[in-house]
Chains A and B, each alone.
Chain A
């Protein structure tokens, strides 16, 4: 799946396989929220983010209306991926909205902003995938934090 935001001229690519994996993980926790982090890399011109995999959290809290991702064990896994070939890095987050639209809540916006500004995060534009999920369907919302604002990607 290929997406872009025309206003800022940035692109995102993600495979259908990964989206299937994300959907299945989300359904295992339905009707509670669930999520994880997104792994990938940037194109050489840094215009495209390729989302390649997800890491699921080993520690988290979740309910129908919230999801709190822990960070236990993440550092080791991310360092291993960074030193691998090809080198993969943290590019953003995903979580589900059970029986709701994939629109960012105030908490989501605060969360993504906090990540972008955190001293242990070196990327300036983390992405956020929200999965509006029901047992029969899913609706995707892809967002990016760019220069103090959140933008939504569109398919093209």
Chain B
């Protein structure tokens, strides 16, 4: 490091880069630097003056200069082209940082897995295994009932696969660890439940802004506040309409069986990377705890590395993960870009299951576990000759309105069944209204606080609706 003083380069200064802070003056023991005496026309500042006759090249002035292109060693002068005209930034600044290796997408691979016997899994485990098969080796979380078992299974398995489960200090930290891991281009997930999901919303907004993938498995419980740990569906509004501040949306998947907990978790990763956007898997506490038959898929995923990743190597060095766009013009353009993405998702990712809807006059709309009670009810009233069918949105956002629209031809009543005060109904009404569709009367079965709609009350409601239909006819 220590060169003889005589051979050490002396400083030079391009006056337009001097901010006139004067920190260099004190640093020079040889009094080579003095306060300037005229304003630089380009900057409006008064750059310092250098008189290097006594300079010994000690470089202390350079170390005192906060501007990277302020005082610099003489040796750097050639590199950047010496004197140049201010008017020509291209000539002035030389090649842009784009001179590095161009990053490319390294696609993932699907690895076949041999046929296995079906497993018997509770919903949270099924979801965890879905994540593993989707190539997720990084899970960040904070324990919260009733989602914890998913995290526990990951804590057991991931270290054995040389992945990582990190228990963060809070959900706030957990979602930001996801931001980092996703920023590096890898699939990651968290298991949480309603109050924890609330805490993650800030981070989700950042992830949407920075266009990062990530899967949020929210096993909803009773609220508001601490509420209880029994099943509810009152985060539908949050997931569909309130993913943090700003212009945000994310695909919201609503499984209703342990099998779907696995399948939709896998799908969530795929969609999350396809759209570079977080995906929310909304389950209810009942589903999280429910054990059922789960068949494994035929392949598992080994993720690749997307071109945009900040991986920490030469290829990806030029990349930036950020949600800040300081000028209005840039941020508006970014929002227009996001809107186009949301429109794309709305056009292509609607999913629903229709059960006995072909001729249904009463359409029961329900998702998650209440959809299973509703299915039981539909089956029961069909025995009584009532033409009921179940419309089960699998994506809550985007709401599968395209699959719903044809049902309106024969539908005379709509019954929305949910463990929430109308949040699913709001999604339905909003979708109907945006599609400018007229619709028959909507009634509901709603339970709250951890109570789920029971099959008998759904049946009763459907029969009421059937009676109302008859009255209208009469």
- Tell whether A pairs with B: no
Residues of chain B touching chain A, judged by Cβ–Cβ distance below 8 Å, are: none
Residues of chain A touching chain B, judged by Cβ–Cβ distance below 8 Å, are: none
